[in-house]
Structure 1
Amino acid sequence: MTTSSTITPAALNRPAWPNLGLPRLVWSLAATHFVGRAGGVVRSFLVLYLTQAQHLSPATAGAVVAAVGVGDIGSQLLGGWLGDRIGRRNTMLVGHLGAAVALAALGSADSMPGIWAAAVGIGLTIELFRPAGSAAVADLPARQRIRAFGLLYWAANLGFSVATVMAGILATYGYGLLFWTNIVASLAAALIVWKLVPETRPAGSARTRGALLPVVLRDRLMLAMMAIHAGYFTLFLQTFTTLPLLMTGNGIQPTTYGAVLALNGVAIVILQPVAVRLLAGRDGGVVSAVSMLLVGVGAALGALSHSTTAFAGSVVIWTLGQIGIAVRFGDTFADLAPAALRGRYMGLASTTWSVGAVLGPLVGTALLDLAGPTVLASVCAIGGLALFAAQRALVPALRHRTVARR
Structure 2
Amino acid sequence: MTTNGTLTPVTPAVEPPTPRPRRSSLVWALMATHFVSRAGGVARAFLVLYLTQERGLSPTTAGAVVAAVGIGDIGSQLLGGWLGDRIGRRHTMLLGFLGTAVALIALGSAETMPAICVAAVGVGLMAELFRPVGSAAVADLPAQERLRAYGSLFWAANVGFTVSTVAAGILVRHGYGVLFWINAAAAVLAALIVWRHVPETRPSTPEAPRRALLPVLRRDPLMLAMTAIHVVYFTMFLQTFSTLPLVMTADGHGPGTYGAMLALNGILIVVVQPIAVRLLDGRDTTSVLAVSMLLVGIGGGLAAVVHGGTVLAGSILVWTLGQIGVSVVFGATFAGLAPADLRSRYMGVASTAWSVGAVLGPLLGTALLDHAGRTALWAACTLTGLALYAVQRAVTPALRRRTTQLVSP
Q: 1:175 offset after TM fit, Å?
A: 3.9
Change (3 A) 1:11 1:143: closer
Matched with 1:295 is 296
Q: 1:188 offset after TM fit, Å?
A: 1.4
CA distance in 1, matches of 2:176, 2:261: 19
Provide the secondary structure at the position in 2 that maps to 1:180.
helix
Amino acid at match of 1:82: L
CA distance in 1, matches of 2:389, 2:60: 30
Change (3 A) 1:108 1:91: same
Report the more deviating stretch, 59-68 or 326-335.
59-68
CA distance in 2, matches of 1:244, 1:113: 31
Matched with 1:17 is none
Matched with 1:70 is 71
Matched with 1:219 is 220
Matched with 1:26 is 27
- Any idea what the Cα deviations from partners look like across 1:328-382, whole Å, max 9, x if unmatched? 1111111111111111111111111111122122223333444443333332222
Q: 1:180 offset after TM fit, Å?
A: 3.2
Change (3 A) 1:198 1:338: same
Change (3 A) 1:65 1:205: farther
- Please state if 1:333 is matched with 2:338: no
Q: 1:141 offset after TM fit, Å?
A: 0.8
Contact 1:67 1:119 in 2 (8 A): yes
Matched with 1:141 is 142
- Any idea what the Cα deviations from partners look like across 1:1-49, whole Å, max 9, x if unmatched? xxxxxxx955613xxxxxxxx3311110011111111112344444555
CA distance in 1, matches of 2:310, 2:43: 25
Where in structure 2 are the equivalents of 1:170-209 lying within 5 Å? 170-171=171-172, 174-204=175-205, 209=210
Q: 1:252 offset after TM fit, Å?
A: 4.5
Matched with 1:398 is 399
Amino acid at match of 1:271: V
- Please state if 1:116 is matched with 2:125: no
Q: 1:279 offset after TM fit, Å?
A: 1.2
Q: 1:289 offset after TM fit, Å?
A: 1.1
Where in structure 2 are the equivalents of 1:44-83 lying within 5 Å? 44-47=45-48, 63-83=64-84
Matched with 2:262 is 261
CA distance in 1, matches of 2:136, 2:32: 17
Amino acid at match of 1:137: V
Contact 2:297 2:382 in 1 (8 A): yes
Q: 1:221 offset after TM fit, Å?
A: 0.5
Number of equivalenced pairs: 391
Change (3 A) 1:99 1:306: farther
Contact 1:36 1:185 in 2 (8 A): yes
CA distance in 1, matches of 2:165, 2:324: 18
Contact 2:205 2:341 in 1 (8 A): no
CA distance in 1, matches of 2:113, 2:146: 43
CA distance in 2, matches of 1:24, 1:250: 48
Any unmatched runs of 5+ in structure 2? 1-16
Contact 1:302 1:315 in 2 (8 A): yes
Q: 1:167 offset after TM fit, Å?
A: 2.7
Where in structure 2 are the equivalents of 1:358-369 lying within 5 Å? 358-369=359-370
Matched with 1:237 is 238
Provide the secondary structure at the position in 1 that maps to 2:202.
coil
Contact 1:66 1:361 in 2 (8 A): no
Contact 1:154 1:272 in 2 (8 A): yes
Amino acid at match of 1:124: L
Q: 1:62 offset after TM fit, Å?
A: 5.0
Report the more deviating stretch, 308-317 or 292-301.
308-317
Larger Rg: 2
CA distance in 1, matches of 2:118, 2:371: 27
Q: 1:262 offset after TM fit, Å?
A: 2.5
- Any idea what the Cα deviations from partners look like across 1:276-328, whole Å, max 9, x if unmatched? 11112221111111111111222223333555555544333221111111111
Normalised to the residue count of structure 2, the TM-score between the two structures is 0.86
Among the aligned pairs, what percent are the same residue? Answer: 67
What is the alpha-carbon root mean square deviation over aligned residues?
2.7
- Any idea what the Cα deviations from partners look like across 1:101-131, whole Å, max 9, x if unmatched? 2223333445544443333222211111011
Provide the secondary structure at the position in 2 that maps to 1:89.
helix
Where in structure 2 are the equivalents of 1:319-398 lying within 5 Å? 319-398=320-399
Q: 1:97 offset after TM fit, Å?
A: 1.4
Q: 1:182 offset after TM fit, Å?
A: 2.1
Q: 1:55 offset after TM fit, Å?
A: 6.6
Contact 1:62 1:362 in 2 (8 A): no
Report the more deviating stretch, 140-149 or 294-303.
294-303
Contact 2:135 2:331 in 1 (8 A): yes
Report the more deviating stretch, 373-382 or 69-78.
373-382
Contact 1:59 1:366 in 2 (8 A): no
Report the more deviating stretch, 292-301 or 302-311.
302-311
Change (3 A) 1:143 1:11: closer
Q: 1:178 offset after TM fit, Å?
A: 3.5
Matched with 1:168 is 169
Change (3 A) 1:172 1:317: farther
Contact 1:280 1:327 in 2 (8 A): no
